[in-house]
Amino acid sequence: MALKVPIYMDYHATTPVDPEVLEAMLPYFREHFGNPSSRTHVFGWTAEAAVEKAREQLSTLIGCKPMEVVFTSGATESNNLAVKGIAWASRDRGNHIITTGIEHHAVLDTCRRLEKEGCDVTYLPVDRSGLVNPVQVEQAITDRTILVSVIAAHNEIGTIQPLAEIGRICKARGVPFHADAAQALGRISLRVDDVHANLLSFSAHKLYGPKGVGALYVRNARPAVKLIPLMDGGGQERGRRSGTQNVPGIIGFGKACEVASRVMAEEAERLTKLRERLKAGILQRIDGVYLNGHPERRLPGNLNLSFAGVDGEALLLSMKDVAVSSGSACTSTRMEPSYVLLALGVGGELASASIRFGLGRWSTEEEVDYTIEKLRERVGRLRAMSSGWPGTVERMANARQASA
């Protein structure tokens, strides 16, 4: 089979809808178009039953009760509901939030908004591989702490945080624990009791579901998590998220979870092998390349590399036949060093020359090999055009060693 270009290697930005997911969704655009809140006829009952089935499919994947799933428009809304909802509901007992400096902007910007409302936010540092130290989490907790929020698996560098350790600390101290799990769901095993989570944020389009739909897990065990909703209205989703549910999207999300539960283990093994093939091929053929993120504790399909002596924007533009990115899709219009890589201690020059490769369900060995060769060719061409390239590898290596 001939290789088709352009090649898609940006599966952390979004994923194509799985055929099984699309097939499950289609009837709910026309035949079963009812409003789940319509309780007086079969059209509404059919839609409601389908939404509840999807709720069960997601709850089965993460090991929670269906009633603990709140459907939203995506992980951004879920993060806002979790962080703001907790802060607004906890004003009488505290105003301190603990998070990290490498969170997605949906958490960081929400925390900054809350700081303007009087909240005190601690932004914990991470180590060179992007891991937060659970000991520092525990040390940061005070009697005014109302929430700890740590990203489960990082969208840029792929690092998987020690959620279980952090969750145990939070549980012992009686502090709600939230994780932005948009990149983790369907890619790695994530069970709410294993990580002791009180709140988890998800987005369907990261696991081969449709865009515009997500969910927030809210633990209902005693003591139940108390949230003040972002929106008031018809009281849908047990009053936590008013508004007519996106029935086709929710159906697709549920089906994507069902598919993930079947294929996740095998898919993770295959993507890890593909990722290692990509990494080895690049490192063997190109000098001055550095891995960003943890070498082992990372998402199966994630690879983030910095290329010394290359202008990052020029490299991305030269890779028109391979869809890759410099980091989060939400910040792709900002041609500046990644705040995540800077937080890891990566110098500005290298941080500006980083590429995130995201492998997924339909990635192949042929695509990986093609990408390796194209990178070798284009990095070499860009370096040949750069008068500052000679000596760059040695200079970068010395700088990284000094900062380690």
Q: How far apart are the first and last CA of the chain?
A: 46
Structure tokens belonging to residue 205 = 């389009």
Return d(Cα 272, Cα 301) in angstroms, integer: 6
Contact indicator for 40, 386 with CB cutoff of 8 Å? no
Q: Which candidate, 268, 267, 240, 196, places its Cα nearest to that of 55? A: 240
**Is 170 noted as a catalytic residue in this protein?**
no
Contact indicator for 152, 181 with CB cutoff of 8 Å? yes
| Active-site hit among 64, 111, 257, 330 | 330
Contact indicator for 327, 338 with CB cutoff of 8 Å? yes
3-state DSSP assignment of residue 207: coil
Whether the link from the prior residue into 66 is cis, omega within 30° of 0, is no
Burial readout 9-21 (b: 16 or more C-beta within 10 A, e: otherwise): bbbbbbbebbeeb
Return d(Cα 28, Cα 25) in angstroms, integer: 6
Contact indicator for 306, 395 with CB cutoff of 8 Å? no
Angle between helices 42-62 and 247-285 (to 10 degrees): 30
Length of the chain: 404
Mind telling me the catalytic residues? 330
